[in-house]
Chains A and B, each alone.
Chain A
Amino acid sequence: MLLKNKLAFITGTNRGIGFSILEKFASNGCNIIAHSRKKDIDFSNKLNLLEKKYNVDIKNINFDILETDSMKSEVYKIFKEKIPIDILVNSAGIIHGGLFQMSPVKDIRKVFDVNFFGLIELTQLVSKYMTRFKNGNIINISSVAGIDLSTGNCAYGTSKAAVIAFSKTLSSELSSYGIRVNVVAPSLTDTDMAFSKEASKEREFLLNSNKPFERMASPSEISDAVFFLASENSKFINGQVIRVDGGNKF
């Protein structure tokens, strides 16, 4: 119960890595503000079950990460409750693959809007709130694509590289307020996103390999790393990137 009575704000929780993080945190006693873009009955039911199973509070909050006004309005409602947010996990994101010469700039811009600018806008709001309590822990989900920056990553990879660069400078700025900032960089993970056409090359390679670490990560392997960074077990780790990739590089 390393997160007992903490409050975490997690974005993109309705599926994939975000949902796995939500479940991991809840199972460790953490109360959660679970962001998803839209209200969904099935997801609400899932959250109710998790609340009962782990005896925690989970509040679903809905806004499009691209819509500033709606983000502000929803986030301010939380701030009005004056309960410290201990942990922010920026997990929401979209994938894109394609050679630069075949990627319209408007598509690249959209990837950056969601993966980078949406993230920094929310972080600006929440980190200011965390400053009030001189305590906080921010974990941004990037990708190994943002480190390796191989062919076809002119949008997704560069947006995730921006997340890493941003996190490093933010960790330096926010340390004065007792707020840590770290990054988890997963490789291809067994989620819906991994089965999009953008991830087909990497996916096919991993699915056809029989070596133990040449496989997709499971969402829980990613949330294990996020959980570590969220806990006091990592209390002196700041401004770092943890690759969770089985040692694979593409």
Chain B
Amino acid sequence: MSNIELYKNAYVESFEIEIDIVESLEYQSIPEWDSVGHMVLMSTLEEKFDIMLDMDDIIDFSGFERGKEILLKYDVKI
């Protein structure tokens, strides 16, 4: 599975949503992406990409696009 597929699936699995809406997602743009859902997404990404996100990046992870930039810091190219 490619990184973009893994990345999108992290949203699908964490929020139990359809894949076609993930690219437009921002933090709190849907009820599922609240603070609780956010931590589920973070731990799912950590597991899928075998990384440990720093606290500053978890806070800064504000949406689908921003998330891609943050993952680059961990050598994960989406």
**A in complex with B:** yes
A-side residues, CB < 8 A to B, are 72, 76, 79-80, 82, 124, 128-129, 131-132, 176-177
The answer to whether B52 touches A132, judged by C-beta atoms less than 8 angstroms apart, is no
User: Which interface class (under 10, 10 to 19, 20 to 34, 35 or more) fits B?
Assistant: 10 to 19
- Interface majority SS on B: helix, strand, loop or mixed? helix
B-side residues, CB < 8 A to A, are 36, 39-40, 42-44, 46-47, 50, 52, 55
The answer to whether B43 touches A132, judged by C-beta atoms less than 8 angstroms apart, is yes
The answer to whether A128 touches B42, judged by C-beta atoms less than 8 angstroms apart, is yes
The answer to whether A177 touches B50, judged by C-beta atoms less than 8 angstroms apart, is no
User: Can you name 23 A-B pairs with beta carbons within 8 Å?
Assistant: A72-B52, A76-B52, A79-B52, A80-B50, A82-B47, A124-B55, A128-B39, A128-B42, A128-B43, A128-B46, A129-B43, A131-B39, A131-B40, A131-B42, A131-B43, A132-B43, A132-B44, A132-B46, A132-B47, A176-B36, A177-B36, A177-B39, A177-B40
**Using Cβ atoms and an 8 Å threshold, which residues of chain B touch A177?**
36, 39-40
**Using Cβ atoms and an 8 Å threshold, which residues of chain A touch B42?**
128, 131
- Closest Cβ–Cβ distance, residue B54 to chain A (whole Å): 9
